[in-house]
Amino acid sequence: MTNDEKMTKFDLEERTAKFAERVIDYAKKLPRDIKFQPIISQLIRAATSIGANYCEADDAQSKKDFCHKIYLCKKEARETKYWLRIIARTFDAFKDEAKVLWKEAQELNLIFAAIIRNKK
């Protein structure tokens, strides 16, 4: 791992943005079928919301506001895991990449849970 990769791993704003980009790229590969489009849309919404809420938390007006926005990050990471699980089950050919993304969503979920615990 290079120094840039190490810095990115600990820069949550960058890490969540990269994660959202990876999810969008993944979603582009999935088959276009009208009955599955809502699931794919939900995945993208949840994954991109993690970083958006983190940016909001970074500019929070109070400790309470910060904790609330970090909680939203955690919630969206958990929802992303759910949609990745459903998509992996739906599209067997795309299961391996879904698992990799699921692991990153899990790590983000754990990071945000730790932040919440430490701020209380």
CATH code of the domain covering residue 89: 1.20.1440.60
> Using CA atoms, how far apart are residues 38 and 46, in angstroms rounded to an integer?
12
- Tell me if 86 is assigned to some domain: yes
Based on the number of CB atoms within 10 Å of its own CB, is 50 exposed (0-12), middle (13-18) or buried (19 or more)? buried
Encoded amino acid at 112, one letter: F
Mean pLDDT of all residues in the chain? 92
Domain count, the chain: 1
| Residues in contact with 86: Cβ distance below 8 Å, sequence separation at least 6, in sequence order | 39
pTM for this predicted structure: 0.89
- Tell me if 61 is assigned to some domain: yes
pLDDT range class, residue 61, cuts 50, 70, 90: very high
- Tell me if 1 is assigned to some domain: no
- Tell me if 3 is assigned to some domain: no
pLDDT of residue 2: 60
- Tell me if 4 is assigned to some domain: no
- Tell me if 84 is assigned to some domain: yes
pLDDT of residue 43: 98
Residue 94 pLDDT exceeds 70: yes
1-29 pLDDT, tens per residue?
Answer: 565 544 545 799 999 999 999 999 999 99
What is the average pLDDT across 39-65?
Answer: 95
Residue 119 pLDDT exceeds 70: yes
> Using CA atoms, how far apart are residues 2 and 54, in angstroms rounded to an integer?
25
CB 115 within 8 A of CB 70: yes
Residue-range definition of the domain harbouring residue 94: 12-119
SS3 sequence, 7-75? HHHHCHHHHHHHHHHHHHHHHHHCCCCCCCHHHHHHHHHHHHHHHHHHHHHHCCCCHHHHHHHHHHHHH
- Tell me if 26 is assigned to some domain: yes
Residue 79 pLDDT exceeds 80: yes
- Tell me if 109 is assigned to some domain: yes
CB 77 within 8 A of CB 116: no
Per the structure block, which two tokens stand in for 15? 């890490």
35-46 pLDDT, tens per residue?
Answer: 999 999 999 999
pLDDT of residue 3: 55
